[in-house]
Amino acid sequence: MELGLLTLGDHRADPSTGVRTPASQRHKEIFEYLDFAEPAGFDLVAVGEHHFSDFIISVPQVFLGWIAGRHSKIRLATGVTLLPHHDPVRLAEDFATLDVVSGGRAEVWVGKGVEPYVYRQFGQDNKRAVDMQREGLELLLRLWTEENVTWSGEFRPPLDNVTLEPRPIQNPHPPIFVACSSPESAADAGRMGLGLTLTMLVFPREQLPVVVDSYRKAFADAGHSHKPSVTVNAHVHVAPTTQEARDHLGIYQWPFQKWVFSKISGQKVEDVVLPPHVTDLDHPDCGIISGSPEEVLDRMQRLMEFCEFDRFVYQGDYGGQPFPLVKRSLDLFASHIIPVISNR
């Protein structure tokens, strides 16, 4: 089992104090969080991308380039790149360059995003997001695997006899994972021969095997020669005791999730009612992994038995929580959980 460490870089005030960390300090904390990954035993770091909101990472490539220069083994992914907002040519150049300078460790996770407001600011129609992403993926793959590319599409100017430089190191190209939330979108990723990444909070846990099975079937039916790959990420918090973990949920996790759900639904934060798979830690479909080290290990093992996947990605840097709490949880996960599950 490979393990990843994800940050979305939200920049929220601490709900318990109302104080928001200055942006410069928040960036330092994010760098420290990512810097911890390789020595702690993680195999991958993933950095999110957001625009025009209380997140302070809009260019994850900068963070990944910094990590590439500090560590020699860990893989470098976006979590996710909002592909419809990018020119696929520039994106292909960016990640081919990252692949070269890192010695072949780059990955691109792509997604459409969830905020119509952001599409409007980019002058785009969010109702065309699926089409924009599909066209972008097709062009990205051609630029990485072909030379002298001549191409025309709907969402960017045509290309005439273009060869990308530099060429990525990884053959045939850096891995691409598609963030999906339904069996249909997962099947699309499988047909294209791409990886699949899933966020547990998007849907109840019981739906995970359905989505994964749809992906694997489409992948197999398409006759790809390489293996499918499934990544699952979840919010994780490890505390010394059960009570401390549950207190943490009420102070940091649930207010953060209400804010996130409000951005998706367009509701006011105070009107959001979170579903049971977010709020009920004892519910079998709960998408949050929280508790003492023993409880978190048990939840992790039950998740691995419930659904077949290749990588688990830990997201523990969220909700305006003080960085010492973030670091304590990471330390506990590294010392109590990683040694047990990394060899499975």
Residue 44 near residue 342, CB atoms below 8 Å = no
Identify the three-state secondary structure at position 177.
Answer: strand
Res 264: pLDDT: 80
- Residues 59, 81: Cα–Cα separation, whole Å: 9
What string of H, E and C letters represents the secondary structure of 21-77? Answer: CCHHHHHHHHHHHHHCHHHHCCCEEEECCCCCCCECCCCHHHHHHHHHHHCCCCEEE
Task: Give the pLDDT score at 161.
Answer: 98
Q: What is the pLDDT of residue 138?
A: 97
pLDDT at 119: 95
In Å, how far are 24, 53, 81, 117, 282 from 144, measured between CA atoms? 35, 32, 17, 31, 46
Report the alpha-carbon distance of residue 106 to residue 61 in Å, rounded. Answer: 10
In angstroms, the CA 11 to CA 23 distance is: 8
What are the backbone dihedrals phi and psi of residue 191, each rounded to the nearest 5 degrees, phi first?
A: -60, -35
- CB contact at 8 A, 178 and 189: yes
Cis previous bond, 80, omega within 30: yes
- Concatenated DSSP letters for 306-325? HS--SEEEEEEE-TT--HHH
Low pLDDT (below 70) residues in the chain: 344
All domains of the chain in start order, with CATH? 2-341 (3.20.20.30)
Q: What is the pLDDT of residue 114?
A: 79
Q: What six digits make up the tokens of 80? A: 């996710």
User: Which structure tokens are listed for 176?
Assistant: 């691409």
